[in-house]
Structure formats: structure tokens, C-alpha cells
Amino acid sequence: MQTSYRPWKFLAVSYIYSPLILILQFPRLHFKLLSFYPYGVSFNCLHLAILAPAGNPPAIFKICVSYCGKDASQGTNISNWIDCYDPQENSWNRVTTIPGLLKNYALKGFSMVSIGDCIYVIGGRLCEKMTSADNRRTRSELEVRRQVLRYNVSENMWYDCAPLIIPRFDFACAVNGDKIYVAGGICQLNSATGMSSAEVYDPTVDEWQSLPEMSACRHKCVGVSWQGKFHVIGGFAGNSDYTVNMERSSVEVYNGDGSRWDLIIGMWQLDVPPYQIIAVDEKLFSSGDCLNTWKGQIEEYDWNLSIWSEVDGSRCEALSATNFVTMAAVGAYLYFIAGRRMPNQPSKMTSVVHVFDTSANGDAWTRMLPVEEEGVKELCSHCCVVILGE
């Protein structure tokens, strides 16, 4: 029998009315609640601070994110690193740096996906961040990369993988089954023209294979695995054979059985490409676009009506004030990883995780306790979930 749990709201009530029982049953949790409570954490934050599994998620998982530093003038290396978020402890840990990058070189526009306990860093454009004599920050774009790297989180080891057939950045990418699919993107610097090419990677043989081309050139498109197929959603188009509205609102679905792409018109209904789309069970969720990474609420796609509609109770003003946000799905939960500069302290940031329970009928948001950090960082790729145990 599959067991599903709600956030443990009863724990906060137990803490107030029966602290001895809570200490005996949940000593570590009691320590956290007791230690944070005197510093002004509200009751609302306390009783939502710990989540139990819902939707049959993996027993042990972490959410990994790649950042780079914002300011090269501080004398520290700002090249890409990877942080892992532990939801059980609400803690962050810098686990590694992306290898092969010179000091103050940053990788942007790449994709980071996971299979099991391994992270794959795919493609991207290499940039050098510099500070001029008059203390102005500049960025020089150097190359578009084919390189693919694999990081085993359990082993703390990096491995080289077979490179992409075509270098690309700002492309669609998703894991479907046990393979990694990529499509679209840009292959040259100083270009705004997307590509229609696609390829698939088989990690068991360490090999990329070309797929049939999509019907339109796309970049800034979003990839998602849904209903057992790789979907490429939206994007800026560069094919004059299609009308602009048709291109920007369409979706390409790769049909592996027929080795072809099926075009769905109007599935994404904005001229601006989506920022990120996540599949949870048979549902698709979106929370922003390329201009507004958080639009104020979560939207769900209705396949029967072919429309996106606001999810009840999903509005969250706290995410509107962030400098960056990215989301990942674990079971029935959507994890939103966000960061913002601290008021009156521009050299510091606050990282915070907001969690939305897609299976809840109400009161679905959880705001974890924020974490203060020294330095200012940029989000370099969307986060991914690494499974460390079942």
C-alpha cells in the first residue's frame, strides 16, 4: 500500500502543547524548532518547516544548482560551482566546481540534468568575466561548447563524456527514459538564429546520435519529458516559412516509434518563450517566461481544453522580489529555489526554498527558513534532482 503524507503541521501544535512528547519522538526536529523560535520565526514558518514524502518521492534526494559569482573585482574565483540542497536539513553545501574552467571563466546557457546519482553538464557558452580599470564589469563571450561532463555525486568524481555532435547553448534538454535529449539552441556566438537540429545521448554506450530535424528553428525553448515523449516547447524561431505566432506558440513532440517530430500548434500561448516547465505525474506546470521568471502564480496545462490556467492557491508574492528562481519536482512537490540580495547589504544574498504541494486542496505553500550567504551569485542553469537512495 502506497503511503502519502502531508506536511507535518501537527508537529508545531505538539511542540506548543506537549513539548516533552515531541522531544522524545523527534529530538532533532525539536532542537531545530526550539533554537529558531527565539529569533522571531513565526508560527506559520515553524509548522511548515519540515515536509514528509508525498507522491512517492525517492527516500534520499538532493536538489543541485549551478551558480557563478557576480563580481570579479573582489579577488575571488567566480567560475561555476554546484551547490546541493538537502531538504531534510534545509541546508546548502557547495559540493564541487565545474572542472576545466580558468579563473573567472563562467559557463552560461548550458543544460544540467540528472540520471540517478549523476549530473550531466551539457554544452553552453563560455564567458570571461572581467573588471576594467574604471571598475566596470564586462563579459566577453569566447566560444560555444560541445563538451559534456558527468559528475557522480556519491563518488564526488567528474568524468568526460562523448561531446555533442553540434555545439549549442540556450537549447531544450530533458531526460526521457534512460536517455538525454537535446534540441534547438544557438551554435554560434553573436547570433540570434536558432537551430532545428536535435540529438540523443545514451549513457550506457557514451554516444550521441542525430535525430530528425524539427519543423522550425528554435532557441530559448524548453524541454520536458511528458507522457513518455520528449517535448520541445516554445522558443524564439528563425524559420521564415512559418508565421511568427505559429512558431512561438507551438510544441514539437519527438515520436521515437516513427522517428519523427509531431507539431502541436498553440500549446504555449504567449509570444515570449516559457522559462521552465515541469511535469508532475500527468500534469504540466509553468511559473514564468523569459521576461518574468516568476509571474506571481503557478499555471497548469489542461490537455483537453488546450489552455494554461492558474492553480488555485498558488499565488506567492515572496517569489516576486527575488533575483533568480528555478524549480524542480519531487513527488507531488514543486521546489522553488530562489535568491535575492539582502536589503542594505549588497555584498550578501539570502537563499530560500519555497515548496508547493500540487496534491493539496489548500494551504499548499511551505516557506523554508532562509539562509544568508556572503557574496553575490548568478544562477547559471536550472536545478535538477539527484537520487541518492530509494
Q: 60 versus 223: which is more confidently predicted?
A: 223
82-90 contacts, C-beta under 8 A, 24 or more apart: 82/119, 82/151, 84/153, 84/386, 85/335, 85/337, 85/353, 86/62, 87/51, 87/61, 87/62, 87/63, 87/330, 87/335, 87/353, 87/368, 90/49, 90/353, 90/368, 90/369, 90/371
Max mean pLDDT among 6-10, 32-36, 117-121, 268-272 falls in: 117-121
Give the model's pLDDT for residue 9: 34
pLDDT at 1 over 50: no
Give the model's pLDDT for residue 59: 66
Q: 88 versus 225: which is more confidently predicted?
A: 225
Bridge partners of 231, per DSSP, are 224, 253
Give the model's pLDDT for residue 242: 45
Give the model's pLDDT for residue 24: 33
Domains of the chain with CATH codes: 1-50 (no CATH), 51-389 (2.120.10.80)
β-pairing, 91-97 vs 81-86, is antiparallel
Q: Is 16 helix (H, G, I), strand (E, B) or coil?
A: helix
Per mean pLDDT, which range of 226-230, 301-305, 350-354 is the poorest? 301-305
Give the model's pLDDT for residue 28: 33
Give the model's pLDDT for residue 58: 61
pLDDT (mean) for 238-242:
49
Give the model's pLDDT for residue 385: 96
What span, in angstroms and rounded, lies between the C-alpha atoms of 192 and 270? 19
pLDDT in tens, 172-217: 999 999 999 999 999 999 888 899 999 999 999 999 999 999 999 9
Number of Cβ within a 10 Å radius of residue 320:
13
pLDDT in tens, 90-143: 999 999 999 999 999 999 999 999 999 999 999 999 999 765 545 556 668 899
Give the model's pLDDT for residue 316: 95
- First CA to last CA across the chain, in angstroms? 16
pTM of the prediction?
A: 0.83
* pLDDT band of 34, cuts 50, 70, 90: very low
pLDDT at 243 over 50: no
Residues in the chain: 390
Q: 87 versus 73: which is more confidently predicted?
A: 87
pLDDT at 49 over 80: no
Number of Cβ within a 10 Å radius of residue 52:
12
Report residue 282 as a C-alpha cell: 500527468
Give the model's pLDDT for residue 356: 98
pLDDT in tens, 8-29: 333 333 333 333 333 333 333 3
Give the model's pLDDT for residue 132: 52
pLDDT at 234 over 70: yes
Per mean pLDDT, which range of 33-37, 228-232, 235-239 is the poorest? 33-37
| Of residues 178, 186, 214, the one with CA closest to residue 199 | 214
Q: 269 versus 67: which is more confidently predicted?
A: 67
pLDDT in tens, 157-181: 999 999 999 999 999 999 999 999 9
Give the model's pLDDT for residue 131: 59
* pLDDT band of 76, cuts 50, 70, 90: confident
The percentage of the chain sitting over the pLDDT mark of 90, rounded to a whole number, equals 62
pLDDT (mean) for 58-80:
83
Q: Mean pLDDT across the chain, nearest whole number?
A: 82
The one-character DSSP state at 235 is -
- Chain centre distance of CA 232: 16
For residue 64, report the phi and psi dihedrals to the nearest 5 degrees: -110, 140
pLDDT at 147 over 90: yes
- Chain centre distance of CA 25: 35
